[in-house]
Amino acid sequence: MTLRRSSATRPLRLATLAAAAGLLFALQAVPQTAAAQQRDPTRSIGETVASQPSQHYAFERFEVHSADGQRTWRVHVAAPKGTAPDGGWPAFWMLDGNAALIEFDEALLAELAAQPVPHALVFVGYANDLRIDSEARTRDYTPFAGERPVREGGTITGGGGADALLEVIERQIRPEVERRITTDPTQQTLWGHSLAGLFALHVLYTRTGAFDTYAAGSPSLWWGDGAMLGAPEQRFVEHNAGRHARVLLGLGEGERQVTHRDLDDPRVQVHLRRIEAAPADSAEKLAQRLADVDGLQVAYREFPALTHGPMFRASLMWALHAVAGIADHSDTPSRADGVDPHR
């Protein structure tokens, strides 16, 4: 069992923050490149490895729809070129699939394909060209209703569609993936970042055996005023009964920083509630608690200086390293910033 413990900041109380002229848990407090700090979630994904021939992986694409026809998910499936093992390919599933596609290039595919048993890749995204579909992911990745600030000002309330998405994955997406390629049901990884990291934990807690590895990068434990840290976790701890799973929890060091903001801003007030509900060391302490659960193998990693946005690539590359066996590329720049990570 692996659990990396790193130095934790002391949890901050809401009253203390208010009295101290409004300290705010800042996802972007540590200096990064301008591109990383201002990454535009409305940008188009453009050309990706899925739209170009690859020597190492064969890509297919399909779409599934909600029962009411109002929601559509676009899924890209990439199978290693070659003969599948008798039990099928291990499968690495990624949420925010549109954005995840940007982080792959032919060199990374070559490295993945060169492993003794390569992984099939499953990108679960949306039927548009947006890198991040904020409205859709807020609906789909959250187990209960909550509130979050938005870039343009103000907040958005809603969410609670995680169980519905999980049903879509289990009843529609997984069977269609299996129709196209054979995967090993005992080697299935689910990765997600931010709200998608919260979703990965929700699946761990509620759908035993759906995956065997759950990788949550910067999980939004603050969602719903920290509700995930309460009853859902406690029910899982009490009823896991030794079922085996691997859990990877990652956080950027810069996500634990604070900065000064205007307390009259409604977005700041939401952030202050986040801190009260899920202090800066919540992910680390969650890893410590889960490590004590019979059957779980837990690893926690903190990434020096990284803030929330850059953690998307860092946590994805770390998970691929830990699960698929490639080199650790978590310290390389994101292709979303227009930088070749292999240069």
Whether residue 321 lies in the annotated active site:
no
Is 239 among the catalytic positions?
no
Can 255 be counted among the known catalytic residues?
Answer: yes
Report the interhelical angle of 231-239 vs 282-291 (nearest 10°). Answer: 20
Q: Is 244 exposed, middle or buried (0-12, 13-18, 19+ CB in 10 A)?
A: exposed
Which among 193, 202, 271, 308 is annotated as catalytic? 308
Tokens linked to 229: 């840290």
From 96, 94, 100, 84, select the one nearest 49 (Cα to Cα): 100
What's the residue count for the chain? Answer: 343
**Which is the catalytic residue, given 103, 111, 233, 255?**
255
> Residue 94 in contact with residue 100, Cβ under 8 Å?
yes
In the chain, which ranges are E strands? 23-25, 57-65, 72-80, 89-94, 120-126, 145-149, 155-159, 183-193, 213-217, 245-252, 258-260, 296-303
Of 56, 119, 194, 302, the catalytic one is 194
Structure tokens at 41: 């979630």
Tokens of 50: 């899925």
Closest CA to 126 of 221, 220, 216, 45: 45
Alpha-carbon span 119 to 177, nearest angstrom: 14
Residues known to be catalytic: 194, 255, 308
